[in-house]
Structure 1
Amino acid sequence: MPASTVKRVTAADVARSLGLSRATVGFVLNDTPGQTIPEATRERVLAEAKRLGYRANSAAQALASGRSRIILLVLPDWPLDYSMRSHLDEASLALDEAGYSLVTMTPHPTGQARPLWETLRPDVVLGMTPFDARRLEEIRASGVQHILPSTPTDDSATSEDLGFAGGPRLQVEHLLDRGRTRLAFAGSPDPRVADLVAQRRRLAVQTLGDRTGRGLVAEGPLTESDSSDTVSDWVSAGVDGVVAYNDDIAAVVLGAALRAGIRVPEDLAIIGHDDTPLARLLVPALSSVRIDTAGLGRYLADLALSAAMGSAPPPAGPETDAHLVARETT
């Protein structure tokens, strides 16, 4: 039989098979709140629905229950690197176990697509970084009841709100504790992370100033094409330690130093950020800062679930802390 002629099994079919009212079956299949259905009846309905091959109409189910069981996560326009993937994978798994689906979207300044909070009617819209006042108003106007964070902020807010601020502090303190006194900051040339790079640089400079009263000796974005000259110039200027924006940039610094015959860590100590698998695989192995991205993913999921279910938000735990991982490059 052609697929187009296959009759969809409906809640009415389940009700007719069991001799129950359509209302009772609908309450069970839609998990309608506020209804007291005997557990035995509920189990009969679910078993018969499965036997008949019933598939819920998600739009009708959401309308009946008042919930779509969708969590919409709005991402900043950052590269989908190892840390971000780990974060999203864990959040998606935790939400799936609770019966919710995680959907992500990345708004673009010139984008023309209709925002997903208008088309999906998610139970919760969650921002990886805080929304500005205009975006908050747009989301509220679409009818979304739960938005996190719910208060506006300016465009400069980035991952500091997620507890990443300790990373640059640990990087600088570790190099200073290793006897390095003339530090450089190696940033990323990717314009998508310019705000995040600037934030980490600012936190590193603040820590360096608090500890020594001095500033950076050198700084700048590094690319593979210019890294050899830049790192050689830094070392010639007396730089003996590099704080890198992340492990990828630290790997570029390390490769440039080794090609130039600069000894690591004897002549130049290097520390990255994020503790990706790359850090452990490099030779020499890269010192870095570890953020529990999987733990943050679970925490993010718990925040969304607490909003969807109207329960108290979870307290921030150790997953928001940064930890130093010292290896061979320092």
Structure 2
Amino acid sequence: MTLKDTTVKRVTAADIARSLGISRATVGFVLNETPGQTISAATRARVLGEAKRLGYRPNNAARALASGHSRIILLVLPDWPLDYSMRANLDEVSLVLDEAGYSLVTMTPHPGGHAQPLWETLRPDVVMGMMPFSMEQLAEIRASGVAHIIPSISAEEFTPEQQLGFAAGPRMQVAHLVDRGRRRLAFAGSTDPRIADLVQQRRAMAQASATGFAGQALLFDADITEASVGRLVAEWVGAGVDGVVAYNDDIAALVAGAALRAGIRVPETLAVIGHDDTPLARLFVPALSSVRVDSAGLGRYMAQLALSAATGSPPPHAGPESEAVLIARETT
């Protein structure tokens, strides 16, 4: 058996013009919807009908080059696990952009990676970061000719006041535990190296909040695994810990599960609160208290920010979707 060349020649505006016996310019005016041209409705209908019959498809790359707009939004993701919250966020960003006629493309830079950044090859209308870019990244993106970058200030320049409300989740976790009468707190983090920076951010905020709300620092602070959680929970409770601030719901479930297996009453002896309010928080028994982040709502807000930059329309107002909400359940 021999392989045949299956390459299909792209139908062009010149093919349509030749088939109809009219000028290439007239066909181009119709296909590109060029304003200010006096082309009859009958001729326009003939051109569009023949384009459909021949299977004409516009050359979007050429259009983007000519117009300066690719209708592509590039979202740069941190090297985090693609968990429930992240998937909900990306699904909503993609849906909102698609409804507006824009395509979402994502990329995840990896330390030591050698792939050429997509902002250099796609000519995106907007480059948006899930997290602030470094000063070096911002310089590279600007040098590639991208007109709109979100956020436009570097991570080094970012202040807590410029972060959205959900960044205050650890503060809400600590305040809730203190409100429940817990003062001797521990922080349980994740050992996943991909989210080490985020774990450290939440840890630092929990530490500062413990001092502010409980009047003393966290008694213990550790990144836990399935192998270590039983030993650590036993040590913490033995030392008087009565509340645990968990990095996320997965970690909260590990802590609560280890406590229950050891005969430690939750929440009577040990209260536990998670973060993200994933389906696990509602399905776990006892149900986990958590901090809810509206990931889908945040995705809509991010898409609207990108569309505002791409089209010049007014920026969206950051509403309830950007605020964290505490959900109290059975573990506190």
Q: Which runs of 5 or more structure 1 residues have no equivalent in the other structure? A: none
Spell out, residue by residue over 1:98-119, the C-alpha distance to the aligned partner (whole angstroms, 9 max, x if none): 1111011111120001111111
| Pair 1:314-2:328 in alignment | no
Task: Give the superposition deviation at 1:192.
Answer: 1.4
Cα distance in structure 2, aligned partners of 1:159 and 1:253: 32
- Match of 1:209, SS state, is helix
Is contact 2:174-2:213 (8 Å) kept? Answer: no
Q: CA, structure 1 residues 3+65, in 2 after alignment: closer, same or farther (shift >3 Å)? A: farther
**Alignment match, 1:151:** 153
Amino acid at match of 1:107: P
Amino acid at match of 1:188: S
Spell out, residue by residue over 1:221-256, the C-alpha distance to the aligned partner (whole angstroms, 9 max, x if none): 010011000011000011111110001111111111
Cα distance in structure 1, aligned partners of 2:86 and 2:104: 14
Q: CA, structure 1 residues 72+45, in 2 after alignment: closer, same or farther (shift >3 Å)? A: farther
**Alignment match, 1:276:** 278
- Match of 2:156, SS state, is coil
Amino acid at match of 1:173: A
**Alignment match, 1:205:** 207
Spell out, residue by residue over 1:168-207, the C-alpha distance to the aligned partner (whole angstroms, 9 max, x if none): 1211111111111111110111111111111112222222
Spell out, residue by residue over 1:15-60, the C-alpha distance to the aligned partner (whole angstroms, 9 max, x if none): 445565434543554567xx34579576765554333321222221
- Match of 2:163, SS state, is helix
The CA RMSD measured in Å over matched residues stands at: 2.4
Task: Give the superposition deviation at 1:307.
Answer: 0.8
Cα distance in structure 2, aligned partners of 1:14 and 1:257: 73
**Alignment match, 2:6:** 4
Q: Which residue of 91, 94, 104 maps to 2:93?
A: 91
Task: Give the superposition deviation at 1:81.
Answer: 0.9
Cα distance in structure 1, aligned partners of 2:17 and 2:91: 38
Spell out, residue by residue over 1:237-281, the C-alpha distance to the aligned partner (whole angstroms, 9 max, x if none): 111111100011111111111111111111111110000011111
Q: How does 1:85-234 map to 2 (within 5 A)?
A: 85-154=87-156, 161-234=163-236
Task: Tell me the matched-pair count.
Answer: 327
| TM-score, normalised by the number of residues in structure 1 | 0.91
Q: CA, structure 1 residues 175+57, in 2 after alignment: closer, same or farther (shift >3 Å)? A: same
| Range with bigger deviation, 72-81 or 50-59 | 50-59
Cα distance in structure 2, aligned partners of 1:42 and 1:224: 67
Amino acid at match of 1:282: F
Cα distance in structure 2, aligned partners of 1:227 and 1:28: 67
- Match of 2:244, SS state, is strand
Percent same amino acid among aligned pairs?
Answer: 71
Q: CA, structure 1 residues 244+116, in 2 after alignment: closer, same or farther (shift >3 Å)? A: same
Cα distance in structure 2, aligned partners of 1:215 and 1:42: 74
Amino acid at match of 1:182: R
**Alignment match, 1:300:** 302
Cα distance in structure 2, aligned partners of 1:4 and 1:120: 27
| TM-score, normalised by the number of residues in structure 2 | 0.91
Is contact 2:178-2:214 (8 Å) kept? Answer: no
